[in-house]
Amino acid sequence: MNIPFKQMTNWKNGNIAPFLLGVWYIIAPFLGGGAINEKMMIFGFTFFAIALLQSKTSPTVIASLCTAFLGVSYFMFVMTTISDSFLWTISIILFAAVLILEFGIFKFGPTATQGKDLTLVPLTILAFSVLLGLAGYNPYIRFDFNRLFLVAVNYLAVMVFCFLWVLNRIGYRPFGKNTVTYMNIMAIAAVVCSLIGFYQGSLFQW
């Protein structure tokens, strides 16, 4: 088994941002007790898978596709009438496939550096989903800057991170050489707001 922890937590290349978001949104639902928040955990699965892909020189093509479909799975949660339990099961299978392939537990299929480009798919979808929430068209993401200020800031931080990642990946850096730093800051801000919101009882709004 090969767990590239050092590469996944690298500040300079921005890998630490999706790693932090992934770990937080995976463990956060268990902190609140009660039923698991599937949508939040799919967020976590997606970010963690992206950090894992980015840590590899050449990720497997299958793992890259699975990561892309994790973003699709979340969007289908929001915008379709497909069974939540079915989408949740598919998401678990996709995430498990990424871990098995990229941790080197089982090697299967070709690898390609271009596989990292598929991270554009889920992050574009996630950013668009939050943007729909800001516009009032995502029933699972509601902005309320009066009663749930930290939750709203959390959403905005995640959205900005996703858009910055996508732009950086295609070669456009809005903040020049500091773009990666701002990506990391957005991820940290999202986690901090969520953590404070958790103690205030307003975390689990995803």
pLDDT tens-digit series, residues 158-202: 999 999 999 999 999 999 999 999 999 999 999 998 888 776 655
Q: What is the pLDDT of residue 169?
A: 92
Read off the pLDDT of each residue in 74-90 and give the average, rounded to a whole number.
83
200 versus 67: which is more confidently predicted?
A: 67
Hey, how many other C-beta atoms are within 10 angstroms of the C-beta on 72?
A: 17
Please give the C-alpha separations between residue 90 and each of 5, 21, 35, 97, in angstroms, as whole numbers.
Answer: 26, 21, 18, 11
Residue 32 banded pLDDT, cuts 50, 70, 90: low
Q: Which residue has the higher pLDDT, 27 or 148?
A: 27
Q: What is the mean pLDDT of residues 17-24?
A: 96
Q: Are 164 and 186 in contact (CB under 8 A)?
A: yes
Read off the pLDDT of residues 132-163 as tens digits, 9 standing for 90 and up. 989 988 877 888 888 888 888 999 999 999 99
pLDDT of residue 40: 86
pLDDT above 70 coverage of the chain, percent: 93
Check if the beta carbon of residue 59 is closer than 8 Å to that of residue 111.
yes
Are the C-beta atoms of 74 and 126 separated by less than 8 Å? yes
Question: CB neighbours of 90 closer than 8 A, spacing ≥ 6?
Answer: 69, 73
Under 8 Å between Cβ of 10 and 16: yes
For the residues 24-41, what does the mean pLDDT come to? Answer: 80
